[in-house]
Amino acid sequence: MKGIAYLIGAGPGDPGLFTLKGKACVEAADVVIYDYLADEELLGWAPSDAELIYAGKQAGNHALTQDEINALLVNRVAAGHVVARLKGGDPLVFGRGGEEAMALRAAGLAFEIVPGVTSAIAAPAYAGIPVTQRAMATSFAVVTGHEDPTKETTGVNWKHIACGADTLTFVMGLGNLPDIAARLQEYGRDAATPAAVVRWGTKPEQQTVVGTLATIAQEVERAGLKPPGLLIVGDVVGLRPQLNWFEEKPLFGARVVVTRARKQAGALSRLLRQQGAYVMSVPAIRTVATDNHAEQDAVLHNLAPFDWVLFTSVNTVEYFAEALVRNGLDMRALAGKTVMAVGKKTAAGLAKAGIVADSVPANASAEGMLAVLEGVPMKGRKVLLPRAAEARELLPDTLREAGAEVTVLPVYRTEPELRGGHGERLAAALREGTVDVVTFTSASTVRNIVAMLGDDASLLRNVQLIAIGDITAAELHAYGLQEDGIAEEATIEALAEAVAVAYRKESDV
């Protein structure tokens, strides 16, 4: 197999600004090499068996040097791998993508460049600052701010840059801010020109400081802003009071931990980010297919006797469908059977697979399913219950007591997510006070997060805990923890709303 490297612009931070082509490349990758500025959600699109390699570079802290990154790319592509190289912003706008492409070309290897949204435009937009504006700014320039001010010569043509464009944006300029401001004034830019610094532009932890060219360095120091940050200089900064939109969202500034499996975390993360939250993904579980193929095959080739098939999760639908395909079947094998989905999401999963659920309880739980079945004669009925290997016995036990013949068919299991050092990362964030809310989407996420934290589990008492339902809340109680909110129904949308309600309540105190 011939290898190839995709040099992909990961965008400025908001994963919603990632391109469709970039997503397709990540989904096809054998290896993902990602930078400090690439959002973790992008990694969730990689195949489960893809090799994930961190190659981030921060000021004074490089995981890999640029030469080492070049060599790594050449090594993996030469070995025949498809490599997705995620670079913050656009790979060719101060991203050193050209160097990586030239290293691959010199080795005779294939590559493609996938442009991304550069922070030079996106960060000002998320701060309510347009880089151009009719009758105010008809030109803009993007300049590197990452130069050593003690150098005898500079790569920046300050004489022409200072007044050569209406709006100036300096990428990676926070460390050299006083020198940049001084140089611009030295070469003719008015000291009263409005200026702003945007830190972590487009991300929920975005911070914006406004001043003038004469005062911006002092304002940033007073605010305690640290890299990464973008400097904008020009009259357009004055439009921020009218155009600021992102920082006014209801969850802006809230730091929320999502504990769902990496593959499933995206939906909740997006809902929270839409309301302005900063999302930290700490996958507590992962789902894998069970290996009881003989048991599955025997049931799936003898579906005719079953009257009811009950699906208790979206995962069940997906793994059940995979088992059918493995046996040369599809969802048509359920023709003539009464199908129940535990809730709206599971029903949507069935619809996607070609099955319209005959029944969807209002209460998305085993109790809700039993409430619907309470008035249905079950004596002698044959019920198929595909599910996780470990689950509550309430549903099958109650149906058997009602006279039904229940076949429980494990099609997947959940495992603690032990890869990636997530427990240490969460513990550090809790100790540093950089977490406001932790969400739990099942009892197993509670158990696994507590196990991950070990002696640090008591730190969970210092933050808000939001549970998707009563069962999950009860699991918190078992560990001496108290929830601050419970979703009104067992859906991701209701969970996101519960986070918003609890956070607003805390903010109003």
Quick one: pLDDT at residue 455?
Answer: 85
The domain that holds 44 is classified in CATH as 3.40.1010.10
Do 312 and 234 fall within a single domain? no
Query: 415, 434, 455 — which closes off a domain?
Result: 415
Do 219 and 275 fall within a single domain? no
Do 425 and 280 fall within a single domain? yes
Rounded to an integer, the average pLDDT of 379-405 is: 94
Do 457 and 396 fall within a single domain? no
Looking at every residue in the chain, the average pLDDT score rounds to 91
Rounded to an integer, the average pLDDT of 40-66 is: 80
Range of lowest pLDDT (126-135, 187-196, 247-256, 305-314): 247-256
Quick one: pLDDT at residue 465?
Answer: 97
Do 197 and 159 fall within a single domain? yes
* Helix segments in 79-143, DSSP class H: 97-106, 119-126
Is the pLDDT reported for residue 90 higher than 90?
yes
Question: Residue 429 sits in which domain range?
Answer: 255-284+417-508
HEC string for 284-333:
CEEEEECCCHHHHHHHHCCCCCCCEEEECCHHHHHHHHHHHHHCCCCHHH
How much of the chain, in percent, has pLDDT values that exceed 90?
Answer: 74
pLDDT grade, residue 507 (50/70/90)?
A: low
Do 277 and 422 fall within a single domain? yes
The domain that holds 259 is classified in CATH as 3.40.50.10090
Annotated catalytic residues are: 35, 57, 172
pLDDT in tens, 131-171: 999 999 999 999 998 765 556 677 899 999 999 999 999 99
pLDDT grade, residue 192 (50/70/90)?
A: very high
The domain that holds 216 is classified in CATH as 3.30.950.10
Give the strand pairing for 207-212 and 194-199: antiparallel
Do 276 and 343 fall within a single domain? no
How much of the chain, in percent, has pLDDT values that exceed 70?
Answer: 95
Is the pLDDT reported for residue 240 higher than 60?
yes
Query: 385, 400, 415 — which closes off a domain?
Result: 415
pLDDT in tens, 98-133: 999 999 999 999 999 999 999 999 999 999 999 999
Query: 367, 382, 415 — which closes off a domain?
Result: 415
195, 229 Cβ separation under 8 angstroms: no
Do 279 and 374 fall within a single domain? no
Quick one: pLDDT at residue 151?
Answer: 60
Distance (Å, rounded) from C-alpha 103 to C-alpha 77?
A: 11
Quick one: pLDDT at residue 509?
Answer: 47
HEC string for 229-294:
EEEEECHHHHHHHHHCCHHHCCCCCCEEEECCCHHHHHHHHHHHHHCCCEEEECCCEEEEECCCHH
Do 393 and 468 fall within a single domain? no
Do 128 and 234 fall within a single domain? yes
Rounded to an integer, the average pLDDT of 196-204 is: 92
Quick one: pLDDT at residue 491?
Answer: 85
Is the pLDDT reported for residue 2 higher than 60?
yes
Rounded to an integer, the average pLDDT of 327-341 is: 94
Tell me how many domains the chain contains. Answer: 4
pTM score of the predicted model: 0.69
Do 150 and 242 fall within a single domain? yes
